[in-house]
Amino acid sequence: MIPEKYKEQLYTVGEYANKLGLKAWVVGGAVRDFYLKRDTLDIDLAFSGNQESVAGFCVKKWGGDKHKFSRFYTYRVSLGNGMKLDMVRTRKETYPFPGSLPQVEPSPNIKDDLFRRDFTTNAWCFSINPDTFGKCYDPFGAQKDIDGGLVRILHDKSFLDDPTRMFRAVRFAGRFGWKLAPKTERLLREAVKGEYPLLVTRDRFTHELIKILEEERVKEIFALMDKYDLLKFAWPGLTWHESLLKTKNAMERVGILACLLGASGEEFVRSLRLPAASAHEILGAWKVYQEKMSPLAPLSDMKKNILRAVLPGLPASALEPCVVRGQDLKEKGLSGRKISTTLEEIRRAQWQGKIKNKEDALATL
Ligand code: ATP
């Protein structure tokens, strides 16, 4: 099952771990992707003890850097060749209260580490230690569920422990064309009724929403969110629109959703925990969309992409900076408030394609 191109590297990691007396496995989504023969650059590795020196060994051998997430005993190693290794120490998780972050406790038992995961299809592994290299361990029926195209949670309290899994469930179902297993579907519907998604922070919710908006099959995922009434947790009134397919960029897709929401779009964007620069760009595009006037200053490509997606019939000149400046109007003898009102009229006319250049604009005075 291990793709040829990763074999040597994974073997080398497993061999080094073995020298330290650690058991090592490929776990999670990478196992699913290897089985489905889908390309992946993100590989999750689990180790039965402290993996810090394995992370250091990888960086020394292949270049790149490592970053530690102390709370979760995780190292992210970004290698020079673009590969990303997420290295966790096998652990057990408990949730002190619904929707909280888990309490994490190291456990050398790989089954505990698989059981803390979201769905059966992401809860299997194979060994990379030399004497058992490639040997699969599938205690919860991942292979059977992948073959049957089913998203199945591992225990009945799964959505309550971590409601972000509700969004992950539809993301995987939409991405792979899978269905929710009958009991998982029933528990998801109960979780929606109980409004479990309100238990998670907007931060964690934003993370899952962005992952959805990064997906190729975002339309199928939105259809499932609609089917299970999950869209309302993103924002009241949020719906699918074909214009979301005009870009593959998740931030631009947020911008499109904001514009389509109309007046409440600004609040929607501010409710998300987006990188400040992206939020600024998105709100800039939203403002132009609300004003429906050509801008005073040039628009960035991102803003233009958002606006072109939501306004496909817009004349090309509408998104260019206004063809006249206040100074031009002053020179024509206008003064005071008359300058700003005339400028707005010209910007509106340019937006509608009625004015294409400075001569057109000055001729209207
Ligand atoms: P993708 O292909 O989108 O990267 P993935 O399955 O690799 O999907 P990640 O979000 O990268 O998912 O997470 C890696 C692994 O961590 C998952 O396969 C899953 O086993 C586990 N995981 C992630 N989020 C959760 C969660 N909320 N609850 C339980 N397990 C999780």
Rounded CA gap, 311 and 318, in Å?
A: 11
Q: Is 91 in the pocket of ligand 1 (CB under 6 A)?
A: no
Nearest atom in ligand 1 to the alpha carbon of residue 123 is 20
Q: Are residues 303 and 219 in the same domain?
A: no
Centre of ligand 1 to C-alpha 4, Å, is 24
Pair (95, 129) in one structural domain: yes
32 shares a domain with 117: yes
Written as six digits, the tokens of 196 are 């479990």
Is the same domain home to 119 and 252? no
pLDDT number for residue 55: 94
What is the number of the ligand 1 atom nearest to the C-alpha of 165? 27
Q: Which residue, by CA, sits nearest to atom 26 of ligand 1? A: 118
* Residues 120 and 160 both lie in one domain: no
Q: Residue 189 belongs to what domain range?
A: 149-231
The CATH number for 1's domain is 3.30.460.10
Of the chain, the end-to-end C-alpha distance in Å amounts to 73
Q: Is 162 in the pocket of ligand 1 (CB under 6 A)?
A: yes
Please write down the HEC assignment for all residues of 268-314: HHHHCCCCHHHHHHHHHHHHHHHHCCCCCCCCCHHHHHHHHHHCCCC
Domain boundary among 115, 144, 173: 144
Per-residue pLDDT, 99: 82
User: What is the number of the ligand 1 atom nearest to the C-alpha of 118?
Assistant: 29
Does 93 sit in the ligand 1 pocket, CB within 6 Å?
Answer: no
Ligand 1 centroid, distance to 91 Cα (angstroms): 15
Q: What are the distances in angstroms from CA 134 to CA 6, 8, 40, 89, 318?
A: 12, 12, 17, 19, 58
> Beta strands of 90-178 (E only): which ranges?
91-94, 103-106, 125-127, 136-137, 150-151
Q: Rounded to an integer, what distance in angstroms lies between the CA atom of residue 253 and that of residue 247?
A: 7
265 Cβ closer than 6 Å to some ligand 1 atom: no
> What CATH number did the domain enclosing 162 receive?
1.10.110.30
Q: Are residues 5 and 117 in the same domain?
A: yes
What tokens does 56 get?
A: 């250091």
Residue ending a domain, choose from 198, 216, 231 = 231
117 CB under 6 A from ligand 1? yes
Nearest Cα residue to 117 out of 147, 148, 86: 86
How far away, in angstroms, is 146 Cα from ligand 1 center?
15
- Counting ligand 1 atoms within 8 A of each CB, the residue from 117, 165, 214 with the most, and so the one to mutate, is 117
Structure-block tokens of residue 215:
């997906």
| Residue written as token pair 């001729």 | 363
Say if ligand 1 is within 6 A of residue 216 CB: no
Model's pTM, two decimal places? Answer: 0.94
| Per-residue b or e along 243-270, where b marks 16 or more CB atoms closer than 10 Å to that residue's CB | bbebbebbbbbbbbbbbbbeeebbebbe
Which H or E run includes 339? helix 337-351
Note whether 132 and 65 are same-domain residues. yes
Q: What is the pLDDT of residue 222?
A: 98
- Residue identifier of the C-alpha nearest atom 7 of ligand 1: 29
Using CA atoms, how far residue 364 sits from 169, 246, 261, 350, 358, in Å, is 57, 36, 34, 12, 10
CA of 244 from ligand 1 middle (Å) equals 25
Considering the domain architecture, whether residues 244 and 282 belong to the same structural domain is answered as yes
Q: Are residues 138 and 66 in the same domain?
A: yes
- Rounded distance between C-alpha atoms, residue 87 and residue 27, angstroms: 10
The predicted structure's pLDDT at residue 3: 87
CA dihedral 242, 244, 248, 253 (to 10 degrees): 180
Contact, 257 vs 310, CB < 8 A?
no
- For residue 44, the CA-to-ligand 1 centroid distance in Å is 9
Q: Is the shortest distance between the CB of 28 and ligand 1 below 6 Å?
A: yes
Neighbours of 273 (CB within 10 A): 14
Q: Which of 42, 87, 118 to mutate to test the pocket of ligand 1 (most atoms within 8 A of CB)?
A: 118
Q: Are residues 18 and 58 in the same domain?
A: yes
One pLDDT digit (tens) per residue for the chain, 365 residues: 888 889 999 999 999 999 999 999 999 999 999 999 998 889 999 999 989 999 999 999 999 999 988 666 789 999 887 889 999 999 999 999 888 888 988 898 999 999 999 999 999 999 999 999 999 999 999 999 999 999 999 999 999 999 999 999 999 999 999 999 999 999 999 999 999 999 999 999 999 999 999 999 999 999 999 999 999 999 999 999 999 999 999 999 999 999 999 999 999 999 999 999 999 999 999 999 999 999 999 999 999 999 999 999 999 899 999 999 999 999 999 999 999 999 999 999 999 999 999 998 888 87
- Please indicate whether residue 44, judged by its CB atom, sits closer than 6 Å to ligand 1: yes
Q: Which of 144, 171, 195 is the last residue of a domain?
A: 144
Please tell me the distance from the alpha carbon of residue 2 to that of residue 21, in angstroms, as a whole number: 23
Contact 118 CB / ligand 1 (< 6 Å): yes
Work out how many domains the chain is built from and give that number: 4
Q: What residue type is 346 in one-letter code?
A: I
- 2 plus 135 within the same structural domain: yes
Predicted local distance difference test score (pLDDT) of residue 363? 86
Tell me the backbone φ, ψ of residue 334, rounded to 5 degrees.
-85, 155
How far, in Å, from the CA of 123 to the mean position of ligand 1?
9
Predicted pLDDT of residue 166: 98
75 and 136 belong to one structural domain: yes
Report the interhelical angle of 202-213 vs 164-176 (nearest 10°): 10
